[in-house]
Amino acid sequence: MKIDVVQDQSRFVLSAVHSLEEDVVLGAILVALTVFVFIRSFRGMIICAVSIPASLISTFTLMKILGFTLNNLTLLALSLASGIVIDDAIIVMENIYRHMEDKGESPMQAAASGLKEIAPAVVSTTLSLLVIFLPLSFMHGIVGRFMFHFGMTMAFSITVSLVFAFVLTPMMSSKLLKKSVHVEKTSRDTAVNRFIDSRYTRMLKWALAHRKTAVISALLIMLSSIPAVMLVGKDFMPRDDRSEFSIHIKAPEGTSVDEMDHVMSDIERKLKNIKEVTNVLTSVGGGEDRSVSEGDIYVKLLHLKKRSKTQDDLANDARKILNEYPTLRAAIYDVGGVGGGGQAKFQVRLTGPDLTKLKEYADALVVKMKNKKGFADVDTSLQFGKPEVRLIIDRPRAADLGVSAGDISRAMQLFVSGTLDITKYKVLDELYEVRTRLEERFRKNPTALLNLPIPATKEHMPQTPVRLDQVASVEETPGPS
C-alpha cells in the first residue's frame, strides 16, 4: 500500500515565508549597497541594513499580541514593509553623516543635532504612510475582513521603523561612525552624485523657468490616470496558477450511488490521460446537502515550470471531457487562495414567490449568459426533477375524525425522519436521546405508510385508531432541489 499527499495548501504558505526571507535578505543587501554607493561608508551601510530585521522582528511581537498569524496577507504586508521600514533610518543616518562632514561634529554631537534637525520631516513622512495603510484596517464588508490584517501589519512595521530611526539609528551612529575631519571633498563629491545632481538641477531649473508648462503637464499626467483605470482589468483578487483545480459535478436527481460512482470513475480515467495531470482525487456525495447525485474531483497538475500549458488551458481540456456527458452539470473552480476557492467568480441571486416562474427566469438568464463571450460553467442552483412524495391532507375529513394537521405532521416525523425524542437513556454520566422510526422497506413504500395509525396524543384520543389513508393521500411529484 502506498500513501501519497494529494492536496497540500501549506506549500503556498511556506513559499510565501521563503519569499519573505528572500525579500528581507535581498532588501538588506541592496539597501546596504545603495547607501555605500552614495555615502561611501561601510559602517553607515551596516547601520541602515540593521533596521530591516529589527523592525520586522518587532512587528512579529505586535502581531502576536493581536492574535495575528503568518498568512498570505500578513506575509504580503511584511514583504512590502521590508522596503519601506528602511526609509526613516536612511534619512536620519544621512543627516547625521552630513553634520559630521559639513560641520565637523563628533559622532555623538552629530547624532543629537542631526536627529533634532530632521525629526519633523521624518515624522511627516511616516505619518503620510500611516494615513495610506491604516484606514485599510477599518474598511467594511468582505474586503475589510481581508484588509484588516494587512493594514494593521503595515501600520505596525512603519510605526516601529520610526521608533528605531529615532532610537537605534542615532545610537549606532554615535558608536560606530568615525569622527569626520573637515575637508574640501565630502562623500557627495563622487561621480554618481555629480551625475545625478547635474541632471536634477537642469530639470529643476527648466521647470521653474516654464512654470505653466510644468503645471499643465502635471495635471495632464494626473488626469490621464482616469482613462487608464478604466482600461485596466478589475478583480477581487488576482488569479494565480496554483497547479490545481476542482470539478464539481451534478448528475440528474435520482441517480444512484453506483451509477454516480461509475460516471465519476470514467471521468477520472480520462482526466488521468492528460499528461500534465499528476493526481486525481474523486469523492461522491458532495454539495451542501451531501446528495449522492453530486461529486467532486480534485485535479493536481505538474508544477508551472514543468509544463507548457497554463492552468486555464488544462481546465479547458477538462471541460472538453465533461462535454461528452450531456446529462451532467459541471463547473470548474480554483482551489484555495485568499478567497478560499470553490465558488463562482460571478453570481446572481434571484428571489420570488413562484418557483415555476423563478425557474423560467433562471433558465432564460443561463441561456443568455452561455451565449455571451467570457462566461464558462454557467449553471443554476434551482433544479426540478428531484423525486418527492407529497402528503395531501383531506382537511374536512380530518376535522370530522378529530385529527389535526399537527397530529399528521408528528406522525410522519415519528415514522419517517425519526426526529422526535421518545425518551432518554442514561449510562453512567452520559444521557442519550432515544428516537424511533420505521424500517427502510416501510419508509420507502407510500402505501405501507398510509396503512399506519396516527399515534394518539393528550389532545387527540380517538375511540378507534385513525389510519393515515382515512385523512390523507400521497402524490409522487418532481420537486425543486
The partner residues of 215 in beta bridges, in order of sequence, read none
DSSP-assigned states of every residue in 218-257: HHHHHHTHHHHHHHS---SS-----SEEEEEEEPPTT--H
> Helix (H, G, I), strand (E, B), or coil: what is residue 98?
helix
- The candidate with the shortest Cα–Cα distance to 83, out of 31, 13, 36, 155, is 31
pLDDT at 219 (0 to 100): 93
CB 91 within 8 A of CB 165: yes
- C-alpha grid cell, residue 320: 472538453
Q: Name the DSSP class of 413.
A: I
pTM of the predicted model, to two decimals?
A: 0.59
- Residues constituting the chain: 481
Contact in structure between 55 and 149 (CB atoms under 8 Å): no
Beta bridge partners of 433: 424
| H or E stretch covering 380 | none
User: What value does the CA radius of gyration of the chain take, rounded to a whole number of Å?
Assistant: 36
- Distances from the Cα of 71 to the Cα of 58, 79, 139, 239, angstroms: 17, 12, 19, 17
C-alpha cell at 304: 508551472
Q: Is 412 exposed, middle or buried (0-12, 13-18, 19+ CB in 10 A)?
A: middle
- DSSP-assigned letter for residue 83: T
3-state secondary structure 77-97: HHHHHCCCCHHHHHHHHHHHH
Residue type, 80: L
Which helix (H) or strand (E) element contains residue 38? Answer: helix 10-39
Residue 119, H or E segment: helix 107-133
Closest CA to 119 of 140, 145, 139, 91: 91
Three-state SS at 196: helix
User: How many secondary structure helices (H) and strands (E) does the chain include?
Assistant: 17, 8
C-beta of residue 139 within 8 angstroms of C-beta of residue 116: no
Give φ, ψ of 358 to 5 degrees: -60, -40
Query: What is the predicted pLDDT for the residue at 463?
Result: 64
Instruction: Tell me the pLDDT of the chain (481 aa) as tens digits.
Output: 777 777 777 777 788 778 777 877 787 788 778 877 777 778 888 888 888 888 888 898 888 888 888 877 888 888 888 878 888 888 888 888 888 877 878 888 888 888 899 899 899 989 998 988 888 888 887 777 778 888 899 999 999 999 999 999 899 888 888 765 545 566 666 777 778 888 888 999 999 999 999 999 999 999 988 888 888 877 766 677 788 888 888 888 777 788 888 888 999 999 988 888 888 888 887 556 667 788 888 988 888 888 888 888 898 889 889 888 888 888 888 886 554 455 677 788 888 888 778 888 888 888 888 888 878 878 777 766 666 778 888 888 888 777 888 888 877 777 777 766 677 878 888 888 877 777 877 777 777 778 778 765 556 566 677 888 888 888 777 666 5
What sign for the dihedral angle of Cα 357, 363, 368, 373? Answer: positive
Q: What does the pLDDT look like over 35-72, one tens digit per residue? A: 777 777 788 888 888 888 888 888 988 888 888 888 77
Distance CA 249, CA 332 (A): 9
- pLDDT value at position 215? 93
State the virtual CA torsion across 177, 178, 179, 185 in degrees, nearest 10. -100
The count of other CB atoms within 10 Å of the CB of residue 72 is 17
Contact 75, 69 (CB under 8 A): no
